[in-house]
Structure 1
Amino acid sequence: MAMTRFRPCIDLHDGKVKQIVGSTLRDAGEGPRENFVSEKPASWYAELYKKDGLTGGHVIMLGKGNEEAALSALEVFPGGMHIGGGIRPDNARKFLDAGASHVIITSYAFDEQARFREDRVREMVDTVGRERLVLDLSCRATTDGWVVAMNRWQTMTDLIVDADAFKRLSPYCDEFLIHAVDVEGKCEGIDEALVKCLGVWCDNSVTYAGGARSVKDLERTQELSGGKVDVTIGSALDIFGGKGARYEECAGFNRR
């Protein structure tokens, strides 16, 4: 039987490890609402995840000024984490060579008019190989379902997240990463409808992020998805200043 796993994360903004409310990211105006800004470097978290054998987590670079911190984490835990945020064919190999197990793409898969470009996905496959590519289909809820949002989740695209999308895109990647942007960073619980759908729609490995607030959400995801969907917990985690989820308990969930 498939088993849901806890997947760790390192979210980087302005070179620091942070937990932010995803829906507040903007290119202009006030900065994002921050739940937590760590005094510890990214490498400290990578060392912790390495010690506990928590592979398959992700390092996400939210904007510029994060590359040095990201590379330091990859160096500490070679082969242990995925890397995303501004990944393109011309820089993907650098991050793989630095220790990333996979590269994650979102915005590169779309053009300037936010239209999905399958040719760009094929270009990434040609560059790094299907087995080292993760497609990020982070999405917002609409009246018609969930729609992928790009540019740090600010711009709605033309790609609907549904069974047809996964059938079309699964041959191009090893895994999918799905942030539920509307609940990201709010610690108000997972999007249960989306998690249930992911368990039905997706045959590749898939990690869900957004709203998880305790180890009970890992158990709930196991129930809803039949163990086919893994979960990232961020803002609720005690190592990120949260109060709902103990890191040791979440890491222990993977050893059950």
Structure 2
Amino acid sequence: MTQFRPCIDLHQGKVKQIVGGSLNDKGAKENFISDYDAAHYAALYREHNLTGGHVIALGKGNHNEAISALKTYPNGLQFGGGVTARNAQSYLEAGASHVIVTSYLFENGEFSWDRLDKVKRETGVDRLVLDLSCRRTANGWYIATDRWQTITSTEVNSANLIELADHCDEFLIHAADVEGLQSGIDEELVTLLGQGCPVAVTYAGGARSLDDLKRVNQLSNGKVDLTIGSALDIFGGQGITLDECILWNQTKA
């Protein structure tokens, strides 16, 4: 059954919720900036036994906050943001249950199997999450790298999901076009993921209420988990409370 997965998004050293498609070198459109640090949220998730969540570092200046969160909830959070074969092991040693990799896997917009092999040797398949966050085009969804600004030539489709599933433990997929907008989930993408993912997959983007958890559960036959960010009360949102998400997980486990 679909589960709620928590998140900690870091930007410029702060816990924030942003509009994903607005992120660039100059900054981003911000929905929320927390008065609390990353460790506060990690402790909150640990207290309520919320597993499978992720810490994402959006750009530079987030290393210390990320490490603090990982050490606060050892093996309870995944980490993504600038992960390469060189540094993957350090995040696992700091307490990440998995590392999440995207941009490193691409060279000049093309997927690199050699780089995948390199990072896999450092992490093992069982501690590697492939971030296939994407943008919608006229021809389907294509993986977007470099803070979702560069659309690659790799399509998110059933064939590619099946092929890549042999090389990782999970997928994380942000629908970058609706990320942070609270405008509703990309139902077609969720349906595709429910039909084509042989491994666990977490979808993020556009969720705004408890009804979205119900909808993702329905569309994916319970095979896709959901991250909720900007709409969540602990991030200044008014669409759904963390308590509701915790209760959902308890009743749907």
TM over 0.5: yes
Q: Distance in 2 between matches of 1:110 and 1:27?
A: 19
Aligned to 1:70: 66
Aligned to 1:17: 15
Unaligned runs of 5+ in 2: none
Render the CA deviation track for 1:122-177: whole Å, top value 9, x for unaligned.
11111110000000000000011000000000101010000111111011000000
Render the CA deviation track for 1:208-236: whole Å, top value 9, x for unaligned.
00000011101110100000000000000
Q: Distance in 1 between matches of 2:154 and 2:246?
A: 34
Render the CA deviation track for 1:16-41: whole Å, top value 9, x for unaligned.
0000000001124xx21000000100
Letter in 1 for 2:220: S
Q: Does 1:96 align with 2:80?
A: no
Aligned to 1:35: 31
Aligned to 1:147: 142
Letter in 2 for 1:148: I
Q: Distance in 1 between matches of 2:162 and 2:193?
A: 12
Q: Does 1:215 align with 2:244?
A: no
Aligned to 2:184: 189
Letter in 1 for 2:16: K
Percent of residue pairs bearing the same amino acid type: 57
In the TM superposition, residue 118 of structure 1 has moved relative to its aligned partner by: 1.2
Q: Distance in 2 between matches of 1:129 and 1:118?
A: 15
Q: Does 1:51 align with 2:47?
A: yes
TM-score by length of 2: 0.98
Q: Does 1:249 align with 2:247?
A: no
Aligned to 2:4: 6
TM-score by length of 1: 0.97
In the TM superposition, residue 45 of structure 1 has moved relative to its aligned partner by: 0.2
Q: Distance in 2 between matches of 1:245 and 1:114?
A: 37
Unaligned runs of 5+ in 1: none
Q: Distance in 2 between matches of 1:101 and 1:81?
A: 6
Query: CA RMSD, aligned part only?
Result: 0.6
Q: Distance in 2 between matches of 1:127 and 1:246?
A: 38
In the TM superposition, residue 252 of structure 1 has moved relative to its aligned partner by: 1.2
The DSSP-based 3-state class of the residue aligned with 1:172 is coil
Render the CA deviation track for 1:61-92: whole Å, top value 9, x for unaligned.
00000010000000110000000000011111
Give 4+ residue runs of structure 1 displaced > 6 Å after superposition. none
Higher mean displacement: 190-199 or 117-126? 117-126
